[in-house]
């Protein structure tokens, strides 16, 4: 196992720079998820670690060794791709063992490694089958097994669950968590799915347009987003964001004035943020925020109520067992100071007290 270090890593295609000086440290044995929208550079960053993309600037180190100019085969990493890339004419056993045979490992060691990986991934009864005889989830487990038998210093996962349906994704996430608990190998996992990121990560790296917006545990990223981008990207539905002007304990936006439980960190232009589950519906009182209901969605255990606040779409999450409000009804919302987030409208970064 080994740590992975990024030191002012850049990637350019001609004059177009797509990775803008990424610096971060991934500890030995840590499971880190790189999450962000399509085109943000997360897969490019992973491919630079693997050696499949050249580094335009900075350094990447695996352990104590800078790997910028080291060939992929010499980096002691194993990668699992979005597509399974299995050999269709080979059995599951042979797919998992192929890389070890190329490396000329002893037959007994190959047998031991494949059987161990198959047991971990619950593939022992499928070792004689061809990939076409397996489900999508089983094929992805074979692809992971092929990486496990390598026993590398670092595992790299490039959106490995994207081709699976929702139920299989949930099952495979559990298997990946169990796998890391058993092996304890440093792992980098790339995804655009914030649910995967929140459930798998020990720490998350949120990327946007080639830059790191925030690094932290899922709890830190969710409850203390560093920017408005993180606030709107992490969480489903996303955080409500309203741009306006703070004056004492009043917040003015869209021709309306909201009463605040406490004054914000500063006066003047600010962006107010609130998670949908933190807007409590209460009996009418003079200081409450007024939300006119436009749409109600039933999602089983919860309902999403959409309306307008300060002229902007505002979402409230309520329990599914609660009687739903009627479209056109005006609700009164109560807010708690610990649930209000404040951002600078210019930098879009968090404003702390």
Domains of the chain: 4-231 (3.40.50.300), 237-343 (2.40.50.140)
In terms of Cβ atoms closer than 10 Å to its own Cβ (0-12, 13-18, 19+), residue 274 is: buried
Q: Which two tokens stand for residue 351?
A: 């404003």
As a whole number of angstroms, the distance between CA 77 and CA 62 comes to 9
The H-or-E segment that residue 34 falls in is strand 31-35
Quick one: pLDDT at residue 288? Answer: 84
pLDDT 10s per residue in the chain (353 long)? 789 999 999 999 999 999 999 999 999 999 999 999 999 999 999 999 999 999 999 999 999 999 999 999 899 999 988 888 899 999 999 999 998 999 899 999 999 999 988 988 889 999 999 999 998 888 888 988 898 898 899 999 999 888 778 887 888 888 888 888 888 999 999 999 998 999 999 999 999 999 999 999 999 999 999 999 999 999 989 999 999 999 999 999 999 999 999 999 999 999 999 999 998 888 777 778 999 999 999 998 999 999 999 989 999 999 989 888 999 999 999 888 999 999 999 999 999 97
Supply the DSSP symbol for 150. Answer: T
Quick one: pLDDT at residue 45? Answer: 95
Q: Which are the contacts of 220, defined by CB distance < 8 A and separation ≥ 6?
A: none
Largest CA distance in the chain: 78
Quick one: pLDDT at residue 335? Answer: 87
Quick one: pLDDT at residue 150? Answer: 87
């Amino acid at each position: 196992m080994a740590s992975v270090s990024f030191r002012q890593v850049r990637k350019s295609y001609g004059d177009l720079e797509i990775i803008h000086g990424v610096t971060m440290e991934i500890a030995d044995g840590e499971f880190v998820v790189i999450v962000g929208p399509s085109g943000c550079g997360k897969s490019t960053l992973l491919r630079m670690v693997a050696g499949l993309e050249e580094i335009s600037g900075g350094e990447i180190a695996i352990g104590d060794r800078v790997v910028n100019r080291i060939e992929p085969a010499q980096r002691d990493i194993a990668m699992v791709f979005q597509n399974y890339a299995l050999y269709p004419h080979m059995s599951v056993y042979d797919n998992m063992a192929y890389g070890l045979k190329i490396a000329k490992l002893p037959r007994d060691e190959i047998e031991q490694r494949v059987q161990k990986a198959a047991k971990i991934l619950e593939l022992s009864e499928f070792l004689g089958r061809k990939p076409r005889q397996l489900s999508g989830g089983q094929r992805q487990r074979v692809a992971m097994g092929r990486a496990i038998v390598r026993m590398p210093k670092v595992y790299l996962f490039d959106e490995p669950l994207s081709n699976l349906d929702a139920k299989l994704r949930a099952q495979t996430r559990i298997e990946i968590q169990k796998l890391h608990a058993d092996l304890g190998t440093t792992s980098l996992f790339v995804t655009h799915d914030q649910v995967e990121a929140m459930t798998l990560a020990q720490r998350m790296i949120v990327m946007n347009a080639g830059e790191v917006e925030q690094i932290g545990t899922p709890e830190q990223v969710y409850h203390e987003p560093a920017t408005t981008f993180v606030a709107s990207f992490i969480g489903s539905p996303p955080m409500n964001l309203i741009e306006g002007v703070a004056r004492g304990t009043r917040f003015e936006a869209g021709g309306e004035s909201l009463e605040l439980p406490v004054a914000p960190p500063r006066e003047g232009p600010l962006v107010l943020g609130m998670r949908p589950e933190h807007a409590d519906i209460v009996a009418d009182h003079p200081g409450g925020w007024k939300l006119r209901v436009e749409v109600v969605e039933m999602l089983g255990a919860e309902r999403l109520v959409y309306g307008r606040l300060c002229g902007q779409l505002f979402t409230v999450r309520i329990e599914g067992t609660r009687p739903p409000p009627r479209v056109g009804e005006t609700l009164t919302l109560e807010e708690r100071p610990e649930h209000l987030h404040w951002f600078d409208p210019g930098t879009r970064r968090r404003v702390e007290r």
